[in-house]
Amino acid sequence: MSAGQGAGPAGGGKWTVLRRREAVGPLEYTRRWWMRLTVGATFLMLYAPIILLVVYSFNDSRRNIVWRGFTFKYYEKAWNNESLIEAFVNSLAIAVVNTLVATILGVLVAIALWRFRFPGKAAYEGFMMLPIVIPEICMGVAMMAFFARVGWPTGLPWPLTLSNIMIAHIAFSFPFVAVTVRGRLVGFNRELEDASKDLGASEWQTMRYIVLPYLRPGIIAGALIAFTLSLDDFVITFFTAGPNSVTLPVKIFSMVRFSVTPEVNAASTVLIVITVIATVLAMRFQSPSRRAGGEEG
């Protein structure tokens, strides 16, 4: 993952040619060896622990870190660990509901803030940002206190047992969706909206044919962010989860506290893979090349 080696085979060829022929330009900082060394070392430190974690989930040895051959046995073990699977299913259910609700709320508030002037707007915007900026633990204890105080029912059947976690997740993740969607709205030419109305479209038609299609990449990216945030959340869930509503990160935490086992590695790897896929998708939808229109006719 060092700098300079990232380009594909075609680009690689061009690169070597360039490197041989030209001296390093004054602003070509990425072509200086010490810069590459720093970046390379940083990426190594960033990725090595994660890669080792994934690798050891396939290592056929319980205690030793020496490679003893490839195995799926710890995935099987994890699969047969009922409480682990239950936690995983809980996590997914929460993430799905959270994604739906948080995306709708986030899009609504993003459009409202983009479109309207109203008294107290600055304060309203500030409060919308609060869930993003306050320490997670403060939000966690607040949620815990809230559900205890209002006497949220505990003995509900699944999936209603998860309702308090869902509510908490939506509360902290919809502002993230709003921020993402607003980022996209910044680039929106307001004259498009005027043009649509000028051509005879109603409020609703303008929303449906002009604004929402334009926002789609931002909405998808926001939804994926909401999904990952929910799936990944440990702190807030830790304070709201009851004995019957354990999520995967909470489960992993309790397992990690006891010991380091390849099963935990396997469960972690699954979570890593899901989040990485969701994240890469989200980034693709947010990338500027998509914004320009994409496909050539």
Partner 1 sequence: MESWRKNPVVFWLLNLGPAFWLFVFFIVPLTIVWVVSFGEKRGIVDIEITWTLANYVRAVEPLYLEIFWKSIVMAGIATLACLIVGYPVAFAIAFAPERLKAILLIAVVLPFWINALIRTYALIAVFRSRGSINFGLEWLWEQANGLLGLIGLGELALLGEKFAPLPLLYNNTAVTLGIVYAFFPFMVLPLYANIEKIDRSYIEASLDLGAGQWRTFFSVIFPLTWHGVMSGVIIVFVPALGAFFIPDLLGGTDSQLIGNVIERQFKSANDWPFGGALSFLLMYLTFGALALRAAVSGRKQGLEA
Partner 2 sequence: MAEGLPIIRIKEVTKRFGQTVTAVDDVSLDIREGEFFALLGPSGCGKTTLLRMIAGFETPSEGQILIDGQDMSKVPPNRRPINMVFQSYAVFPHMTVADNVGYGLKVTNVPKAEIRERAEEALELVKLGGLGGRKPDQLSGGQRQRVALARALVKRPKVLLLDEPLSALDAKLREAMQLELVRLQHAVGITFVIVTHDQNEALSMANRIAVMEHGKVRQLAPPSELYEFPNCRFVADFIGKMNLFEGRVAGVSGEEVLVEVQGLGRFSLPGEGEASGEVGIAVRPEKVRLRREKPDEDMVAVHGKVSEVAYYGGSSFVYVTDDTGRTISVNQQNEARTAEPGVTIGDELWCAWKPRDSLLLRA
Q: Distance between CA 10 and CA 14 in Å, rounded?
A: 7
Q: Which does 293 bind (CB under 5 to 8 A by kind): partner 2, partner 1, none?
A: partner 2
Cα–Cα separations (whole angstroms), residue 211 to 20, 111, 197, 204, 290: 50, 9, 12, 10, 16
48 binds, among partner 2, partner 1, none (CB under 5 to 8 A by kind): partner 1
Residue 201 binding: pick among partner 2, partner 1, none (C-beta 5-8 Å cut-off by kind): partner 2
Give the chain's end-to-end CA distance (angstroms, integer). 35
# residues contacting partner 2 (CB under 8 A) = 21
Instruction: Tell me which residues in 167-196 interact with partner 1 (CB under 8 A).
Output: 167-168, 170-172, 174, 176, 178-179
Least distance in angstroms from the C-beta of 42 to partner 1: 5
- Binding partner 1 by CB under 8 A: which of 162, 239, 245, 246? 239
Is 136:235 a contact under the CB 8 Å cutoff? yes
User: Judged by CB, which is closer to partner 1: 3, or 92?
Assistant: 3
Residues 236-295 that bind partner 2 (CB under 8 A): 292-293
Q: Give min distance, CB of 289 to partner 2, in A.
A: 12
Range in contact with partner 1 (rule: CB under 8 A) among 71-79, 141-149, 151-159, 208-216: 141-149
Given partner 1, partner 2, none, residue 22, with its beta carbon under 5 to 8 Å by kind, binds none
Residue 119 CB neighbours (<10 A):
7
d(C-alpha 256, C-alpha 65), whole Å: 17
Structure tokens at 221: 């990216």
Q: Tell me the CA distances in angstroms from 240 to 130, 176, 226, 269, one per residue in order.
A: 19, 20, 18, 25
Residue among 27 and 292 whose Cβ is closer to partner 1: 27
User: Could you tell me which of 161, 42, 59, 182 has the C-alpha nearest to residue 109?
Assistant: 182
The least CB distance from residue 172 to partner 1, in Å, is 8
Using the contact rule CB under 8 A, the part of the chain among 77-85, 151-159, 214-222, 275-283 near partner 1 is 275-283
From CA 211, how far away is CA 185, in angstroms rounded? 9
User: Which 159-218 positions form the footprint of partner 2 (CB under 8 A)?
Assistant: 189, 191-192, 194-202, 205, 209-210, 213-214
- Annotate each residue in 69-98 with x if it binds partner 1 (CB under 8 A) or - if it does not, as one string: ------------------------------
From the list partner 2, partner 1, none, partner contacted by residue 277 (C-beta under 5 to 8 A by kind) = none
Which tokens belong to 87?
């936690």
- Name the segment binding partner 1 (CB under 8 A); options: 71-79, 155-163, 211-219, 260-268: 260-268
Burial environment of residue 293 by CB neighbours within 10 A (0 to 12, 13 to 18, 19 or more): exposed
Residue 264, phi then psi, degrees to nearest 5 = -60, -40
Main-chain phi, psi angles of 151, to 5 degrees: 65, 50
Distance of CA 68 to the CA centre of its chain: 34
How many residues make contact with partner 1 (CB under 8 A)? 97
Contact 204, 169 (CB under 8 A): no
Shortest CB 181 distance to partner 2, Å? 16
For binding to partner 2 (CB under 8 A), which residues are involved? 189, 191-192, 194-202, 205, 209-210, 213-214, 292-293, 296-297
